[in-house]
Amino acid sequence: MPLLSIEKVTKSFGGLTAVSNVSMHLNKGELVGLIGPNGAGKTTLFNLLTGVYEPTSGSIKLQLEEEKNPRELGGLKPYNVTKTGLARTFQNIRLFKDLTVLDNVRIAMHQNIQYQLPSAFLHFNKYHKEEDRLKEEAERLLDIFHLAHKKNELAKNLPYGEQRHLEIARALATKPVILLLDEPAAGMNPQETASLTETIKWLRKEFDLTILLIEHDMSLVMKICERIYVLDYGMLIASGKPAEIRANKRVIEAYLGEEVSHA
């Protein structure tokens, strides 16, 4: 059984069907791409996976190795989805802008905190021990993205590329099993994209992750994803290995169609 199974998921807003009868799966350790023209429903699908929206119909199941039965994620609140092991980044960067880099990461660690309200008020020894551990772990994460020396800067003062990196670090701080990246290379120059590609590959190995990636930059997707799903008008129009997708007629049509309408 795959780690994550999306079964016939549909989401409609009033009369508009943003995601229609989509079925997908992620196997443990895979790096899967999700592509499609603008407005194809990619981000809506992410929002369904992470609990921001509730599916109109269909189910989303997470099968963890150590558990016997799969868990249903559809309809869970976002924080509960995060607790079960899905973490995400946002297409339009939603950092805690006026907080420090360190705090951004520490907030994401809250769900694993080992002290209770009394310690929060009275700063017992447990508080100090935990806070020290938290800080250490956060700094280790930041180090991976070369952000450790900027830990006391406000997130909004980081350059764009580093903000994207901080978002990934923050998502990792929730200790996810599955990482959902929403256009992580958007707005990056080719060098930055190249270095991001390496980082993503390395992260998957280092943190034993399964990654689902929405991306507009086709070269990035084709380069690193093992499998690709293609959405158009909310429907799944193709899936397969990068080479297969590149040759798929419907995919080419969908993208060409977009280009024609853009002109």
Partner 1 sequence: MTSVLTKKNLLILGCILLTFVLVQVLMSVGFITSFHEITLATICINIILAVSLNLVTGFTGQFSLGHAGFMSIGAYVCALIVMRFDSVAGFLVGILAAALAATIVGILIGIPTLRLKGDYLAIATLGMAEIIRVVFLNLEITNGAAGLSGIPRYTNWFWMYLFVVLTIVLINNFIRSSHGRACISIREDEIAAESMGINTTKFKVMAFAIGSFFAGIAGALYASYFYFIKPNTFGFLKSIDILVIVVLGGMGSITGSIIAAVLLALVSTFLQSFTAVRMIFYALVLVIIMIFRPQGLLGTKEITDLFKFRRKNERIE
Partner 2 sequence: MEQFLQQVVNGISLGSIYALIALGYTMVYGIIKLINFAHGDVYMIGAFVGFAAITYGKMGFFPALLVAMISCAIIGVVIEKVAYKPLRNSTRIAALITAIGVSLFLEYVMMFFVGAEVRSYPKVLTEKAFHLGSVVINMQQIYIVLTAIALMILLQFIVHKTKTGKAMRAVSIDPDAAQLMGIKVDSTISYTFAIGSAFAGAAGVLVGIYYNSIDPLMGILPGLKAFVAAVFGGIGSIPGAMIGGLTIGTMETFVSGYGNSMYRDAAVFLFLIVILIIKPSGLLGKNTREKV
Report the nearest approach of partner 1 to the CB of residue 148 (Å). Answer: 16
47 binds partner 2 (CB under 8 A): yes
For 243, the 3-state DSSP assignment is: helix
Report the nearest approach of partner 1 to the CB of residue 240 (Å). Answer: 30
Q: Which of 90, 124, 233, 255 binds partner 2 (CB under 8 A)?
A: 90
Binding mask 15-44 for partner 2 (x = CB under 8 A): ----------------------------x-
Total residues contacting partner 2 by CB under 8 A comes to: 4
**Strand ranges (DSSP E) for the chain?**
4-13, 16-26, 31-35, 57-62, 71-72, 86-88, 178-182, 210-214, 227-232, 235-240
For 185, the 3-state DSSP assignment is: coil
Interior angle at CA 26, CA 23 and CA 28, nearest 5: 160
Interior angle at CA 133, CA 130 and CA 136, nearest 5: 150
Report the nearest approach of partner 1 to the CB of residue 174 (Å). Answer: 5
Residue type, 96: F
89 binds partner 2 (CB under 8 A): no
Report the alpha-carbon distance of residue 258 to residue 237 in Å, rounded.
Answer: 15
Helix axis angle, 101-108 relative to 160-172, nearest 10°? 30
Report the alpha-carbon distance of residue 261 to residue 48 in Å, rounded.
Answer: 28
The binder of 108, among partner 2, partner 1, none, by C-beta within 5 to 8 A per type, is partner 1
Residue type, 71: R
CB nearer partner 1, residue 183 or residue 217: 183
The sign one gets for the Cα dihedral 199, 200, 205, 208 is: positive
The binder of 43, among partner 2, partner 1, none, by C-beta within 5 to 8 A per type, is partner 2
Report the nearest approach of partner 1 to the CB of residue 179 (Å). Answer: 12
The binder of 157, among partner 2, partner 1, none, by C-beta within 5 to 8 A per type, is none
Report the alpha-carbon distance of residue 138 to residue 106 in Å, rounded.
Answer: 6
The binder of 132, among partner 2, partner 1, none, by C-beta within 5 to 8 A per type, is partner 1
Report the nearest approach of partner 2 to the CB of residue 47 (Å). Answer: 6
Chain residues that interact with partner 1, rule: CB under 8 A: 50-52, 77-79, 82-83, 87-88, 90, 94-99, 103, 106-111, 113, 115, 117, 119-123, 125, 127-132, 134, 170-171, 173-174
100 CB contacts (<8 Å, ≥6 apart)? Answer: 151, 152, 153, 154, 155
Interface residues with partner 2 (CB under 8 A) are: 43, 47, 52, 90
